[in-house]
Amino acid sequence: MEEASTRGRTAAQLRSVGLKVTAPRIAVFEALIGTGHLDAHTVHERIVGELPGTSLQSVYNVLDALHGAGLLRRIEPAGSPALYERRTGDNHHHVVCTRCRAVGDVDCVVGEPPCLAPTDAGGFAIHTAEVTFWGLCADCRRQPEASAQPEASA
Ligand SMILES: [Zn+2]
Ligand SMILES: [Zn+2]
């Protein structure tokens, strides 16, 4: 019997990579649907309503397990906590806003890894180039030079 629900699909995905299906794993994996890149704190905030009593540490553990099983990709832009996303396996890169830390996906420059190769790899066989582009996001570009101003509403 096929379960067409999101929950059923999520459970099947967990099983397909050999992970036991648990409520926190389902909640964490589903919290990342369509959201781009979230850190553990944000994931925790999103699931704690559904699963009260879930600790931040257990969210870290679940993210680790999902990442280890290949269901999540983890990126760690300099100065940001580790961010998790469901878009895996396509060698895409990231663009990070230097002002607000918004993170966007950009497709692989060439289309397959490694999309950049050093002129001299020093004997290494290169399999991946993880590129982070830095700049100002569209929202921040629209705002006047306000970077020196602390946020008024605390
Ligand atoms: Zn920004
Ligand atoms: Zn991404």
Nearest ligand, CA of residue 90?
A: 2
Q: How far apart are CA 61 and CA 26, in angstroms?
A: 13
Q: For residue 6, what pLDDT is reported?
A: 87
Nearest ligand, CA of residue 100?
A: 1
Q: How far is the CA of 77 from the centre of ligand 2 (A)?
A: 11
Q: For residue 132, what pLDDT is reported?
A: 93
Q: For residue 56, what pLDDT is reported?
A: 97
Q: How far is the CA of 105 from the centre of ligand 2 (A)?
A: 5
Residue ranges of the chain whose pLDDT lies below 70: 1-4, 146-154
Q: How far is the CA of 106 from the centre of ligand 1 (A)?
A: 16
Q: For residue 117, what pLDDT is reported?
A: 82
100 is in an annotated binding site: yes
Which domains does the chain possess?
A: 6-75 (1.10.10.10), 90-142 (3.30.1490)
Q: How far is the CA of 1 from the centre of ligand 2 (A)?
A: 34
Buried b (16+ CB within 10 A) or exposed e, 58-72: bbbebbebbeeeebb
Q: How far is the CA of 97 from the centre of ligand 2 (A)?
A: 14
Q: What is the pLDDT of residues 60-71, one digit of tens each?
A: 999 999 999 999
130 is in an annotated binding site: no
What residues flank ion ligand 2 with Cβ within 5 A? 85, 105
Q: What is the pLDDT of residues 103-126, one digit of tens each?
A: 999 998 777 778 888 888 899 998
Nearest ligand, CA of residue 147?
A: 1
Nearest ligand, CA of residue 142?
A: 1
CA torsion, ordered 18, 20, 24, 29, to nearest 10 deg: 20
Q: For residue 4, what pLDDT is reported?
A: 58
pTM of the model: 0.83
Nearest ligand, CA of residue 72?
A: 2
Q: How far apart are CA 6 and CA 76, in angstroms?
A: 28
